[in-house]
Amino acid sequence: MDTCSLSPTLAALGQHDDFISRHIGPSASDIAAMLASIGASSMEQLVEQTIPATIRLAEPLALAEPRPESEALAALRAIARGNRVQHSLIGMGYADTLTPAVVLRNVLENPGWYTAYTPYQAEVAQGRLEALLNYQQVVIDLTGLELANASLLDEATAAAEAMSMTRRASKSKSNLFFVDAACFPQTIDVLQTRAHFFGFELVFGPPDEAAQQEVFGALFQYPNDHGEVSDLSGPIAAVKSRGGLVAVASDLMALVLLRSPGEMGADIALGSSQRFGIPPGFGGPHAAFFATRDEYKRAVAGRIIGVSVDTRGRRALRMALQTREQHIRREKANSNICTAQVLLANMAGMYAVYHGPDRLRSIAARIHRLATILAEGLRRAGITVLTKHFFDTLRVDLGSRALLVYKVASEQGYNLRQVSPGILGIAINEKTSATDIARLIKLMTGVNADLKPFDEQLRQADPSLPASLLRRDAILTHPVFNTYHTEHAMLRYLKKLQNRDLALDHSMIPLGSCTMKLNASSEMIPISWPEFADIHPFAPLDQAQGYLQMISELESWLKAITGFDAICMQPNSGAQGEYAGLVAIARYHASRGEAQRKVCLIPKSAHGTNPATAQMCGMRVLAVDCDDAGNIDVADLAAKAAQNAANLACLMITYPSTHGVFEEAVKDICAIVHEHGGQVYMDGANLNAQVGLTSPARIGADVSHMNLHKTFCIPHGGGGPGMGPIGLKAHLAPFMANHRVQPISGPHAGQGAVAAAPWGSASILPIAWMYIAMMGGHGLTRATEVAILNANYIASRLQAHYPVLYTGKNGRVAHECILDIRPLKAITGISEIDIAKRLMDYGFHAPTVSFPVAGTMMIEPTESETKAELDRFIAAMVSIRNEIRQVERGHWPADDNPLKHAPHTQADLVDSHWNRPYSRQEAVFPLPELAENKFWPSVNRVDDVYGDRHLFCACVPIDEIGEHTNPLPEI
């Protein structure tokens, strides 16, 4: 044995910082070589050359020492035991559910699914695009409408999107929006927040009163908060007769049995797909569904998956219509929603694929039968059941006994809903058994009920759901929902789709502004623990003490990292974080009698969600110029701040900038805004370049959102979930979001919510907790340094082949770099899109294209990629540059070369009519090492124009399956 291995101390042998080297890609020797390659003598010198001295932190992060993976998991397991899992019958849009094990293991827990990015590059995303198309078809079938998007964030914010959509689409001049008083209270809470800043007036009442005055839109709940199901056809027709549009919030499981909103005349249907196999998770994440009529397709928020063709005429899927609408339309965008809940939408869709229509009907019918048996048992014992027509939810009047029954039920493991002092709510779900029903009857009545007579009676005649309320049309008739019902078949279908997608389990994804870093297995393990997965968001807090402890610790760590005084965990995406931050600013100004402050300054380089968010908060956007070096034009900023001093609300700034540099004047910029009475909102998209070296508060920000799905390792999931909590300075902290159902200490009481659940998508917060616990302050700082090193290494190695568009004053980039493709395109006609598609042939996902500057590619390697992987990417980019030189020299025609025809598929390899000026080997194996681990795009280049002209956003009709082309009508 090597005696050197026995010489370290016991503490050193414990390898407490071992995870740091697991997370960070380059080794110590790699780092030394990379520093030498870029001309930096040390990491310290690189940081000094990159980050302005005026904003660098003087002290290390005040965080605990790193913990080994096993110790961190054990510590979090101990915290999780503070949660008490009960059978929650609270309802309110959340239900216990059974996730099929084949979906749990092969989607939720599979890095091939959860480490992928939003499918902007369709050719390497056909698997999850098909999964999302399946999900859209489920929503279309169950809602009875013609078009569905690929998910929104939660039911409450989906309702808010429906409200703003009805305003855009309605021809009514009214400023009134009608809200069913029996909508879920958390939905009403979010609607009130959104309506206030849009300037809408909300009117509440029962649906049959909706048309008593002209409204531009209405929202009905079906089944409603009381559990009641009613025919909404009349109220819907009445509202529409006066020029309004109608949205119906519903429940996918209920719609398996009930008449669809579309059949009743609704223009929009929305709700949560949580019941389709997604655990409640203390509030999320869950995929909200959203469907509408075809005539409103261009007014829909979020992403829509559509069917197109590739260059060989084969069916190919893509994101349609609103793919980049925030970048293009900015403050005129339909919404600030960028991506939503793709991983959860895929799970919900696969729940339907695995069960199929027959099993879904059995599940829904069983839930309903158990509810009716409960109701009948209670009625026979003399208890008043207030709900007449219902799917799964009852309200019962127990008078003075209600509190005692509530407590006894809790002691026996059941969470009921306290509606009022004498009334309890009971919502049956997929996990409820006949034994549970008997126990509930016993604890409320004292009677040992025999359920069989009730079952036989209700099987013959069910008064709780009249025939007029039942669905008469077929659902889920497409073969995809009628084929994969054995576990082997489902497993192989999931594997087939996974093989079509390029995720981090295959190669780096160098998307700029996206931070596609390692999502470590140990970080992901806790999200499946029942103690985190199976807690209802409105469960009594004494059952969620583990959650509260974990969230409190995470908040304290984020405060140390950002320098802020308070953290709001409610926003469940980056876009929601932006909105929550600007809402806090607007509330702060209003509290000081300065509600007129509505001017928002935004640099022209900003992400498109920034201006979209500002308009949602009722602000007027003024664009600030950038100089030739890509920095904010300080003179232009100062002039506009001075001109609008009396009305200046805020500046929205991203730092480092979206141009990939640390701007030297950032503190002066913040000071200018503060001098004129404004607040500084910092977009947290690039926080991965700050952690441990500087901080938003140190720079001068008053509020900032943090993308936990970027900097803190929550995976992107193919387009969600995410979490976007905000950090605030003390003066803004009282104005952050609160919650009507579960009030939060800190913000002003009664202050409206921005998301459905008090702590957003709480069940994925353990991922960020694990990451910080295992990295510690030193590890987090080292990760930031290496992220900056990796970006500068790539920029330095590629500079001779592609111009690096922007650098700081010392020639350094931040954590990402922008390559300028415009000069090459001017000479050869080869565009950034051609390079992006050609990279697929080399086994890489493309960098971000044409953002923030058209005709460019933005590369962010993150700290998690090894030097070997960076070198492999660099080799691919250099090889592609050499291919472009072949075009420059005339060896290949400008319109007939590997870049213009990329990506290449196996169909190209076996094409008997190959007549291109380059060989098949050059097409599919441009570098020899690709033969060892080739990723094959499953389609050739997708025709985006065809897809938009022939918009089709559902599963391909049965009679067209197998055809090479789809005869879709042109629009």
Question: What band does 443 get if pLDDT is binned at 50, 70 and 90?
Answer: very high
Same domain, 763 and 793: no
The beta strand positions in 587-667, using DSSP E, are: 599-603, 620-624, 648-654
The pLDDT of residue 331: 58
Output the furthest CA–CA distance in the chain (Å, rounded).
91
Name the residue type at position 232.
Answer: L
> Is 923 among the domain residues?
no
CATH number at residue 791: 3.90.1150.10
Residue type, 551: I
Residue 80 lies in a domain: no
Residue finishing a domain among 853, 886, 905: 905
Mean pLDDT (whole number) for 582-586: 98
Answer yes or no: is pLDDT of 966 > 50.
Answer: no
Report whether 799 contacts 813 (CB < 8 A): no
Q: In terms of domains, do 801 and 750 share one?
A: no
CB 214 within 8 A of CB 243: yes
pLDDT at 969: 36
Residue 630's contacts (CB-CB under 8 Å, 6 or more residues apart) are: 605, 657, 659, 660, 661, 805, 806
Q: Scanning the structure block, which residue is given the tokens 């493309």?
A: 846
Alpha carbon distance 476, 691 (integer Å): 48
pLDDT in tens, 83-123: 999 999 999 999 999 999 999 999 999 999 999 999 999 99
| In-domain check, residue 333 | yes
Is residue 956 very low, low, confident or very high in pLDDT (cuts 50, 70, 90)?
Answer: confident
CA distance 88 to 75: 26
Q: How many CB atoms lie within 10 A of CB 638?
A: 17
Asked whether residue 2 carries a pLDDT value surpassing 80, the answer given is no
Tokens of 742: 């579960």
Last residue of a domain, one of 881, 905, 929: 905
Secondary-structure breakdown of the chain: helix, strand, coil percentages, each rounded to the nearest 5: 45, 15, 45
CATH of the domain at 626: 3.40.640.10
Q: What is the pLDDT of residue 801?
A: 98
Main-chain phi, psi angles of 120, to 5 degrees: -65, -35
- Is residue 268 helix, strand or coil? strand
Please, which pLDDT band fits residue 60 given cuts at 50, 70 and 90? very high
Give 970's pLDDT tier (boundaries 50, 70, 90). Answer: very low
**Do 249 and 376 belong to one domain?**
yes
94 Cβ partners below 8 Å, 6+ apart?
A: 88, 272, 274, 280, 283, 536, 537, 538
Report pLDDT digits (tens) over 717-726. 999 999 999 9
Q: Are residues 870 and 970 in the same domain?
A: no
Question: Per-residue pLDDT for 493 more than 60?
Answer: yes
Q: Are residues 882 and 845 in the same domain?
A: yes
Percent of the chain with pLDDT over 90: 91
Task: Say whether pLDDT at 708 is over 50.
Answer: yes
Residue 24 lies in a domain: no
Band the pLDDT of 949: cuts 50, 70, 90: confident
Indicate if 696 and 615 belong to the same structural domain: yes
What are the beta bridge partners of residue 250? 222, 271
| DSSP letter for each residue of 802-826 | S-B----TTS---S-EEEE-HHHHH
As given in the structure block, the two tokens for residue 440 are 């509930």
Residue 503 belongs to some domain of the structure? no
CA angle 71, 521, 845 (to 5 degrees): 145
Q: Which two tokens stand for residue 890?
A: 């005339």
Structurally, the chain folds into a number of domains equal to 3
Element (H, E) at 288: strand 288-292
Is 845 found in the same domain as 698? no
Residue type, 441: I
**Are 743 and 868 found together in one domain?**
no
263 or 605, higher pLDDT: 263
Residue 468, C-beta contacts closer than 8 angstroms, at least 6 positions apart: 231, 259
Average pLDDT over residues 417-426: 98
11 located within any domain: no
Using one digit for the tens of pLDDT, what is the confidence trace for 622-633? Answer: 999 999 999 999
**Local structure of 651: helix, strand or coil:** strand
Predicted local confidence at residue 271, as pLDDT: 98
Tell me what the pLDDT averaged over the chain comes to. Answer: 95
Q: Which of residues 716, 742, 767 is at a domain's end?
A: 767
Taken in order 134, 137, 143, 147, the sign of the CA dihedral is positive
Across the range 742-770, mean pLDDT stands at 96
Q: What percent of the chain has pLDDT over 70?
A: 97
Lowest-confidence pick of 29-43, 444-458, 792-806 = 444-458
- Specify the length of the chain in residues: 971
Return the DSSP state at 426. Answer: E
Is 51 contained in some domain? no
Tokens of 352: 């339907």
Is residue 19 scored above 80 in pLDDT? yes
* Within a domain: 428: yes
Segment among 434-448, 490-504, 508-522, 607-621 with least mean pLDDT: 607-621
The whole-angstrom separation of Cα 775 and Cα 171 is 55
Closest CA to 498 of 946, 102, 850: 102
Mean of the pLDDT values across residues 853-862?
A: 97
Q: Apex CA 956: angle with CA 954 and CA 960, to 5°?
A: 160
Q: What is the distance between the alpha carbons of residues 177 and 163, in angstroms, rounded to a whole number?
A: 7
Residues 811 and 867 in one domain: yes
* Mean pLDDT (whole number) for 392-412: 98
Taking 50 as the threshold, does the pLDDT of residue 963 lie above it?
no
Do 598 and 727 sit in the same domain of this protein? yes
CA distance 498 to 517: 20
Sign of CA dihedral 470, 472, 478, 480: positive
pLDDT tens for 293-325 read 999 998 999 999 999 999 999 999 999 975 555
- CA distances for 522 relative to 66, 658, 694, angstroms: 14, 31, 28
Of 931, 833, 895, which is closest to residue 122 (Cα–Cα)?
A: 833
Q: Are strands 201-205 and 268-272 parallel, antiparallel or unpaired?
A: unpaired
Residue 16 is encoded by which pair of tokens? Answer: 């407490």
List Cα–Cα distances, 296 to 265, 320, 459, 590, in angstroms.
14, 14, 41, 35
270/126 same-domain check: yes
Structural domain of residue 676, as residue ranges? 567-767
Q: What's the burial of 83, exposed, middle or buried (CB within 10 Å: 0-12/13-18/19+)?
A: buried
Burial 556-582 (b: 16+ CB within 10 A, else e): ebbbbbbbbebbbbbbbbbbbbbbbbb
Residue 755 and residue 790 in one domain: no
CA distance 205 to 16: 60
Rounded Cα distance, 510 and 205, in Å:
51
CB atoms within 10 A of CB 967: 7
